[in-house]
Structure formats: structure tokens, C-alpha cells
A and B are shown apart, each in its own frame.
Chain A
Amino acid sequence: MPRVGQPLPIAQFRARDRVRDRSDDQLHDALLQRDGDALAQIYDRYASTVFSVALRVIGDREHAQDVAQEVFLALWRAPENYRRERGSLGGWLASAAHHRAVDVVRREEAVLRRVERAGAEAHLAVRESEQSEPVHESAWQSWQSRVVRSAIGELSEVQREALMLAYFGGLTQQEIADHTHVPLGTIKTRTRAGLQKLRDTLDAGAVTDLNTRRAGENP
């Protein structure tokens, strides 16, 4: 068995079938104990979510991979930064990916993020009817994704535009106002109303709590 400082074959560092049913909280507990298998299992559970949001924001698979790796490494380095009482592990990882990705594109500006924003926007708008996702353990995540996209579809056009430009375009309220030639106050109103409508739709629908169910669970 390898000792401290000795490289470990990656094959030994994989999630095992016997622990695949561990909950997110159990996996987080294991991470706090420096359990590498837990990291592998968390990756297996949320890699697609993390990678997808990074990809939608950045628009480049290579850079999205870098962001995804950094998100999981950050969790591995400091698992205590995730506070389970504040939300789900999946949501926390996705938000971390979004934050890092937006940080990258805001500094780079231009082509990469524009491409991705457009792609993300379009995906959001049209893929509700998607039949399947080629992701092994993502039944719940796929369903969750469709529910959110459906809720986004309930927004008015201007509300949706404001939210998408902010979230997937990394534009501030002022920047959206500047670039759409709409008064700042109007943009703020649209954004807030859009968020409120999104929350109401999600809360009123089948998704009573998007943040409590685990990956792999079917609705």
C-alpha cells in the first residue's frame, strides 16, 4: 500500500460500487477525512453539471475543463468551505463553476464568451423536449435541468433576456442597460421580476426544493 508522498495509481482512486449510494452529506464527511474515493464519487455525480455550466459561460471545452478541474480541486483542498446548511453540494459546485467561469470571461471579454452565451441561451430555450442525455448518472440532473429550462421559458422575453445576459453573459445590470439601450431602472426591474417569476414557478411546480434531492434520483 502506498505511503505518504508516494504516487498512487489512479485506478485505486476511483469510486467503488459499494459506496455509490453514499449521500452527498456522507461524501462531504468523507472528504473532510481526506477520502479520495469520495472525491471521485462526487466528481462522477456532478462533473457534468459543473462542466456544462462552465462550458455555457466560457464557450470553449478546454477552458471549461480547466474550470471544472479547479472547482473540484478547490473542494478537495478545502471541503469545509462548503456549508451544507446553506444548500446542496451540487448547487454549490455549480455556482462555484459559474463564478470562476464568469470571472474568466469577464477578464478576457469578446469571442469566447459571446459564442458560449449564445449557445447557452439557445440551449436553454429549446431543449425542453430533449429525450435523453448521454450521461450515465444524470437522470435526476437531466430532469432538474429540464425543469429549470421550462421555468425560464415561462419568463417574459425581456425578463429572460436580462437574466441570460447577466448569468451566462456576465454582464452587470449597467452593462445590460448600456448595451441594450434600455434604461437602467427598467433592466433592474426586469431582472428582479424575472428572478421572482423564476422562483415562483419553481416553487409552485413539482420542484418544491431543487436543492435537496440527490443526483441519480428519478423524479
Chain B
Amino acid sequence: VTAFTAAEHELVQDEALDLLLAGVEPTDRDQYDKHLAQCPDCTQFVSDVARMGEALAAAPALETPPPQLRDRLLAAALQEPGVAQPGAAAAADAPSGDEAQPPATLRSRRVDELSARRDAAARRRNRVVSRVGAAAAVILLAASIGWGLTQRSAHDDAADRAQRLSQVVNSLSSPGPVQVASIAGKNGVVATAFVRPDGALVLPANLPANNTDNSMYVLWSLVSPTDSAPVPIGSFDVTSSALTSAVMMTGRAPSGNWFAISAEPGRTVPSAPTTVLGAGQA
């Protein structure tokens, strides 16, 4: 067993944190792996961090993916090498003597094909991820142009993010009931609202910056989706520098567990929403 220095242990464990929590590869992956192969303590540390990583992955409240994703996935799986028959369940459904279950030799060949093409599959995966990245870059560019974002350094962005995340956590960690509602419009979720009896917080997800001189957004509370007398809880702005920030508001207590966001001309809260951008139930 190699005798490692304390600094070497610390380096590997620091890199394990960045790898398992933030997805950042170690500077020298071979050295990292080599250390772990010879160090039970660091291996145990990595195992513990990985287990907590899995736990953290389970933390987000569950969101249901759109139904079409299932069909898209299965259609894509069908295009993979060696796949052209339903699985065991379909085979069990087939009449006796049916050809649903492929011969063992054919099945083995499919597995072999799969192995042989794994590298190609890996390349495809990389391309897909690249496409995801490219698409995200386009969206980001469009957002930057459309919302008038000025060029800011990554340092500033991250500092803002840290500050605002802290704000969110601090705001929501105090005792008391909170209603949470995803506010969705015709094009998807526009914001998430966290409403307490004494105020509310909105996380804009897809709201353009408004002109703070002559417009604003208003969060409304409704008893039901057809409530004819929505109660304004508070107003807020989405500015270029606050596109991703939590917005604290104070106002009236909610009247129900439905919420809506409207865009309003002017800086005075009207008696009824002008342009409803989305609604959702807590």
C-alpha cells in the first residue's frame, strides 16, 4: 500500500467533491483513480459522497415529464441496434409457436452488435449533448438580446446567483405554511410562486423584463380558476438584472390556493387582472 501524504488525501477528496457534486472532472483523472485504488479511506469518502449525491438527486419535488417523452424515448430505443421485437411480456402474449422470441443465436448476435457499436453510441451521445448545448446557447443568446442583458462576467453572475439563492433559502426557511404554485401559461411555466399569509415570493422562469416606469407584474390569488374576484397579493418587476432572482413582496393574504400572474400597464395594482399570463394551483 502506497503511503500518501495528508495533502494528497485532501486533494483527492476535494476533487471527489467537485466531481460528484458539481460534475467537474479531476485535474488528473488517472492520478485520482490510482489514488482511490490504493486508499480505502478516500474510497470510503467517495462512496459516502456518492451516496449523498444520490440522496440529493431525490430531493427535488417530482415533476411529471410530458407524455410524449415516453414515446420519443421508446421510438429512439427502437432505432438502436439489435432492437426490433418487443420484450418478454410481448413474447408471453404471443400464441404458442409464435416467432416473437428470437432464436438464442440471433439474440447473442444482437448483444454482440451492441458491444461493437458502443463506441458509435458514445459518439452519438456526445453529439446529442452537443446539440443540447448548442440549442441552449441559441436560447441564451436570444434571451440576452431580447431582454437586453448586458454582458456580465461569470464571476458577477455567480455572485448574483449565490446571493439570490441565499435570499431564497433565508426567506423560505422560516416557520409557517407556504403555498407553492407553478404558474403556467400557454407556453409552459412562467414562474413559481411561494405564498405565505404575510407575503409572497416569485421565481420568474419565463417572464420578460418589464419597463419599471410604466408596467409591472401582479400576483393574484383565486378561490378557483373561475373566480370572478381575484385578490391581488402583490406586484413585482422583472428587470434585466433580476431575471432569475426571487422577488419579495408584501401584500394581502391569499384568498385561495389558485394563483395567477398578470402583466399590467401602469404602476398601480388594478382591481382585476389586465393580461393574465398564467395560472396554477398550489
Contacts and interface: CB of A to CB of B under 8 A. Distances in A.
B162 A180 contact: yes
A118 B246 contact: yes
B62 A142 contact: yes
A133 B143 contact: no
Contacts of B132: 63, 66-67, 104
Contacts of B74: 10, 13-14, 36, 39-40, 43
A43 B71 CA distance: 11
A61 to B, nearest CB: 6
A130 B61 contact: yes
B166 A161 contact: yes
Interface string B118-149: 10010001001101110111011001100001
A144 B58 contact: yes
B6 interface: no
Contacts of B59: 124, 145, 148-149, 152
A163 to B, nearest CB: 7
Most B Cβ at <10 Å: residue of A15, A61, A134, A192 = A61
Nearest to A31: B87
A179 B86 contact: no
Contact of B60 (A52, A110, A175): A52
A170 B23 contact: yes
B54 interface: yes
Given A33-B107, A103-B23, A106-B24, A148 B169 contact: no
Contacts, number: 363
A204 interface: no
Given A48-B65, A61-B188, A118 B82 contact: no
A199 interface: yes
Chain B residues touching A, majority SS: helix
A49 B58 contact: yes
Contact of A118 (B75, B87, B203): B203
A199 B62 contact: no
Interface string A150-164: 011100010011011
Interface size class of A (residues with CB under 8 A): 35 or more
Contacts of A28: none
B116 interface: no
A127 B180 contact: yes
Contact of B89 (A5, A15, A88, A157): A15
Contacts of B149: 111
A172 interface: yes
B180 A13 contact: no
Contacts of A148: 55-56, 58-59
B165 A164 contact: yes
Contact of A10 (B66, B75, B111, B177): B75
B133 A126 contact: no
B85 A1 contact: yes
A77 B82 CA distance: 10
B173 A173 contact: no
Contact of A166 (B17, B61, B93, B192): B17
Given A51-B69, A125-B169, A157-B169, A179 B161 contact: yes
28 contacts: A4-B84, A39-B77, A48-B65, A51-B69, A61-B66, A65-B65, A66-B132, A67-B132, A69-B72, A95-B53, A97-B57, A102-B22, A103-B129, A111-B143, A118-B164, A123-B60, A125-B172, A126-B178, A130-B61, A145-B58, A157-B166, A167-B56, A173-B14, A173-B17, A173-B18, A175-B22, A179-B158, A179-B161
